[in-house]
Structures are given as C-alpha cells and as structure tokens.
Amino acid sequence: GLDAVCVGETMALLVPDPAGTDGRRSFQLEIGGAESNVAIHLARTGLRVAWYSALGDDDLGRHVRGRVAAEGVDCRVRTDPDRPTGLYLKEFDGTGRTRVRYYRRGSAALALGAADAARVRAEAPRLVHTTGITPALSEGCRALVDALFTEAAPGTLRSFDVNYRPALHGPDEARVLRETARRADVVFCGLDEAESLWGAATLDDVRELLEGPDLLVVKQGAEGATAFRGGRSWFAPAPEVEVVEPVGAGDAFAAGVLHGLLTGADVAASLAEGARLAGTALGVRGDIPPRPS
C-alpha cells in the first residue's frame, strides 16, 4: 500500500535568471506546489507516495506531471480538457525577498471536489497530507479538504500544513484554517502565520488555539521549530545554511518530519530530519533542490 497521498494543486513555475545587460530576460521552467513538494521529498527518502491532483491538457501540465513522475511519485492526476494548468512566478527585487505571482484562476485543480476524497480514501494510505492553500482555491477544493479529513479511512494519519498565503486567502480563512487544523492528526504552523491569522503571539497561544492534533509542530523561522505531543515538547534549531530563497523550505521541513513519523523515528529525530531537509531547500531559487546524487 501507499505510505502517503499528498493532495493539492501543482503549477508550472517560472524562476527568473539574473537579468542580462541587454534587457532580455530568461527563466527556468520548474514546478511548484506545496503538496507535490512534500510528495517529492518523501519519495526521495524511499517511501511509496502518490500525488493527487488535476492538470490541464497542455504543455505546462505535461511538464508538471513529467517532473513529479520522474521523482518516483505516483501521479493520480486527472487531465481536464477544459481548464489550463496553473502557473506561478517568483520575482526577485534585489532585496532578498521573493514576491510570488499566481496565474491560476480557473485552473484544472480548482475543479477538484469532495468526490475526489473518496478516491484518496480508496487508496487506504498510511498518511494523507494537504495544506491550507487547497481550501483557499475554490468551493470544491474546500469541500475536498473537508471530506479528506472528516472521512479519512480509520488509521490514516491526517497531516495539515497551515501554509497561509495572504495573496490567496480571503477574510474567511482564519476560521477555515483553524477548523481544518483541529481536525488533523499532525499540524505544521508557522508562528508568524499564527500571529497573522489568529493574533497568536506565543507558542502557548498557538497550542491553545489548535487544540486537537496529536502532534503540533510550530515553526519559529530562523530560530527553529517546536513540537508538542501529549503534554511534552521538543525543540530543534534551524539549519545553519545560507538562505538563497525560502519558498519551498516549509514543505521540505514537513516532509522530513513526516518521514520520521512514518518510519518510526521519535519526535526529536523527526524534527531534526525536517530541519536538515529544509536546509537543502533554502539553498535554491526553485522550490525543490536537485535530487541528491
């Protein structure tokens, strides 16, 4: 059987090369999607992983599918003849910050719905993972996440990364993300996200707000991360690496922790594995580092 199914949209990603002197721009065509990022990292560790989504019947969709499949992830992907594959672009303004632009309105993944949860459930995976991006995409995607977590097969671990994206999330999101998190067994949340969404300023605030999950992992940026389970807590420092571009590092971190949990490691070792994998993603401009050789 499958160790994990990751559910959510993946887009083609354009990463700009440094600007040339003649006014021309060039871009690397990569892929980006929080859930397929997690799936790829998990597959690289040798686990059996599927990615569940939808793509357009277009070149960008074939590119996305090809790249995910090349990583050894099973693609359970519907091809939608009527909708395009989404696209996202990273813009670097020289200040070290990344600005993210989305071209995803009406994309194929937005037509996913509650019926897809039954297909995921039929796989009886050990773990199902999604993020807060998914319920923000469409009514159907919100219903899908609801059904994924309320109708998961008994024994399936439900993993949720809050992944707050101000560019995507509307006014209702504080409530939706909190309710979803409280239904999950494993939750990843940034302290900065918790502050923006719920005004939670401290680790204890987050813990109180997100009561419910068996394992809660709060990310504290450059400091590290703290995990809570059954009244105990563990801390792991952030990796000491040079940060080239941060988008995608949270997914690598989640994958490291989940890999630990799925292979029977204890919480401390799982956190350390998350920090190590996050370090590999912080060093590249794309979402995921090249496959280690």
Does the annotation count 3 as an active-site position? no
In terms of CB distance, is 185 or 251 closer to ligand KDG?
A: 251
Contact 81, 106 (CB under 8 A): no
Spatial separation of the C-alpha atoms in residues 249 and 283, rounded to whole Å: 9
Active-site residue (options: 80, 161, 251, 287): 251
Burial 128-139 (b: 16+ CB within 10 A, else e): bbbbbbbbbbbe
Residue from 52, 88, 164, 228 in contact with ligand KDG (CB under 6 A)? 88
What is the smallest separation between the CB atom of 231 and ligand KDG, expressed in angstroms?
Answer: 30
In terms of CB distance, is 63 or 229 closer to ligand KDG?
A: 63
220 φ/ψ angles, rounded to the nearest 5 degrees: -115, 40
71 touching ligand KDG, by CB under 6 A: no
Binding mask of the shown chain, residues 115 to 144, with x at each position contacting ligand KDG by CB under 6 A: ------------------x-----------
Residue from 184, 186, 247, 267 in contact with ligand KDG (CB under 6 A)? 247
The residues, ordered by sequence, that sit 6+ positions from 79 with a Cβ below 8 Å of its Cβ are: 54, 55, 56, 57, 61, 108
Site size toward ligand KDG (CB under 6 A) is: 13
253 touching ligand KDG, by CB under 6 A: no
Residue from 14, 32, 54, 77 in contact with ligand KDG (CB under 6 A)? 32
The interface with ligand KDG within residues 260-289 (CB under 6 A) comprises 287
The interface with ligand KDG within residues 191-230 (CB under 6 A) comprises none
Spatial separation of the C-alpha atoms in residues 280 and 291, rounded to whole Å: 10
Q: Give the interface with ligand KDG as residue ranges (CB under 6 A).
A: 32-34, 37, 88, 133, 163, 165, 247-248, 250-251, 287
